[in-house]
Amino acid sequence: MLNDAYTVTEITRIIKAQLEVPALSRIWVVGEISSLSSSQAGHIYFSLKDENGTVLPCTFFANFARSLDFQLENGSKIYAFGMITVYDKRGSYQLNVMKVVPSGEGELALKLKQLKEKLQKEGLFDENHKKPVPAIPDKIGLITSPKGAAIRDFMRMIQTAPMLSVMLFPASVQGAGAAASIIRGIEILDKSPDVDVIVITRGGGSEEDLFCFNDELLARTIFDCETPIVSAIGHEKDTPISDLVADLRLPTPTAAGRHFAENVQGLMFQLQKLRDSLATAMLRQRDRNPDFTRFSMLTDRLQDQLLRFLPEREQQLDTLANSLITGINRNLEARETRFQNLEKRLHPAHMRERVAVFEKQLQGISGQLTAAIAGKTERLEQRLHALTRTLNAVNPLNVLDRGFTASFSKDGKKLLRSVTDIRPGDTVNTRFVDGFALCHVLYTERKEPE
């Protein structure tokens, strides 16, 4: 009976023959990722587990893993396609994965999360990239549906400030083609010389209704737009990517309209206060005028002597009174002219011209700084590419891509450069471009130098 016992190798081979069959060579397995890791060669290792706690080891070799279009994470539920194989040395079986797709309701959420992380790493959400939004724009470019509640809410607030002008680009803001429609609106309004700011807005809706505002190309178009962009998407539960990239985020269409209307109303209030202050100052100045004071004193004296000197002084009094009144009127006219000149200088149109001059100067300085940074960045990138090419040229493992192999000690730490480094009976770790093999040395022969 003992003579019929199987060796470990024999029993492993029997199990391997039973498992590595056509029925298990192309299968889908669903489960939750755990124990996720990767190697320098690009291979990905993880386990799939189900609600019963059963675990299936998985290997995702680099040549298949390169086609992965999203990032694997511990806890994510996936479908894995591949074949069952037995690893002889351990006597264990595993799934050699050839393809992975996200599972169930978490697919969109996972892709959205990974897209946000990608754009954040690229700097699209950084505050230092956001352009200043003009407080009182000459013309607002509005991108929204012409039939929705959003345009009514926005325009109701804008109409409280008649100075503001709006140019509408009618766009689809829901469903297939919505992102492309909004992108087209941005491109057209950005080229308009009259538009100072672009507002993208719509009312609330479900996550599916608003998913067009999470489009990657739309996010990059907002980031690249030269005109400042305000995103006002009425959805408080989740923040769409368009809000994160935009130069200013406001919660609703009403809030967006109120933002600009209140700026105009605030300016008009300040101008009215200034007018009132100037009028009060003019009245005080008139009361303190020496000519007016002398006129009052002379009038009192004349009233006392009027009955006695009226026949003789009537003509002199008329002449003096006319002279004083003429002087006062001239003084008041001069001060009124000064007031009108000040009022013209404080008019919103004149103030906008001065602001425009300052903005052009600031844009020139910003452009010079941007060009200098871009030049420095380009030089550093060129230097990095040159160093990378140099390192790749001297990398001994690159020859493996051309069909060669390299032999190392059993633990893989020492490169075997000569036949004298090994002896019969040793185990050698031989590396290929896509893996390695442990080889047993039977015989060595050293070639004598010629």
Q: Is residue 294, in this structure, part of any structural domain at all?
A: yes
Q: Are 250 and 201 part of one and the same domain?
A: yes
Tell me, yes or no, whether 350 and 424 share the same domain: no
- 3-state SS class at 399: helix
Largest CA distance in the chain: 162
Question: In angstroms, rounded to a whole number, what is the distance separating the alpha carbons of residues 197 and 228?
Answer: 5
Question: How many angstroms separate the CA atoms of 377 and 382, rounded?
Answer: 9
pLDDT at position 187 = 95
Whether residue 208 sits in one domain with residue 147: yes
Distance CA 73, CA 55 (A): 16
Q: Which 3 state secondary structure label does DSSP give 104? A: coil
Identify the domain containing residue 298 by its residue range.
Answer: 289-374
**Nearby residues of 411 by Cβ (< 8 Å), 6 or more positions away:** 429
Measured between alpha carbons, how far is 169 from 200 in angstroms, rounded to an integer?
10
Distance, in Å, from the CA atom of 419 to the CA atom of 201, rounded to the nearest integer, reads 74
Q: Are residues 74 and 175 in the same domain?
A: no
284 located within any domain: no
My answer on whether 136 and 228 are in the same domain is yes
17 domain-assigned: yes
Do 147 and 238 belong together in one domain? Answer: yes
pLDDT of residue 393: 64
The pLDDT of residue 196 is 94
E-strand stretches of 136-282: 139-144, 165-170, 197-202, 229-233, 248-249
94 and 135 fall within a common domain: no
Residue 125 is predicted with a pLDDT of 93
26, exposed or middle or buried, with CB in 10 Å at 0-12, 13-18, 19+?
exposed
The answer to whether residue 73 sits within a structural domain is: yes
Q: For each of the chain's 450 residues, which pLDDT tens digit applies?
A: 566 787 777 777 877 777 777 878 788 898 989 889 999 999 999 999 888 778 899 999 999 998 887 888 888 888 899 999 888 777 788 999 998 888 765 566 667 888 999 999 999 999 999 999 998 898 999 999 998 889 999 999 988 887 889 999 999 988 888 999 999 999 999 999 999 999 999 887 777 678 889 999 999 999 999 999 999 987 656 688 999 999 999 999 999 999 998 888 887 777 788 887 777 776 676 666 665 556 556 666 666 665 555 555 556 656 766 777 777 778 778 877 887 777 776 666 666 777 777 778 878 877 887 887 888 888 888 888 888 777 766 666 666 677 778 888 888 888 888 888 888 988 998 888 788 888 988 888 888 766
For residue 171, report the phi and psi dihedrals to the nearest 5 degrees.
Answer: -135, 155
Same domain, 93 and 155: no
Chosen domain end from 265, 280, 301: 265
| CATH value at residue 174 | 3.40.50.2300
230 & 155 share domain: yes
Same domain (yes/no): 142, 204: yes
- Does some domain include residue 43? yes
Residue 217: CB atoms within 10 A of its CB come to 10
Domain-located, residue 270: no
- The answer to the question of residue 362 being in a domain is yes
Task: Count H helices and E strands in the chain, helices first.
Answer: 10, 13
Residue 344 shares a structural domain with residue 229: no
| Residue 398 maps to a domain | no
Q: Residues 159, 251: one domain?
A: yes
Q: Look up residue 261 and give its amino acid.
A: A
- Give residue 449's Cα distance to chain centre: 65
pLDDT at res. 356: 77
What was the pLDDT predicted at 305?
61
Number of separate domains in the chain: 4
Q: Whose CA is closest to 427, among 446, 445, 408, 413?
A: 408
Beta bridge partners of 200: 143, 231
Question: Residue 79 is part of a domain; what is its CATH number?
Answer: 2.40.50.140
Other beta carbons within 10 Å of 221: 21
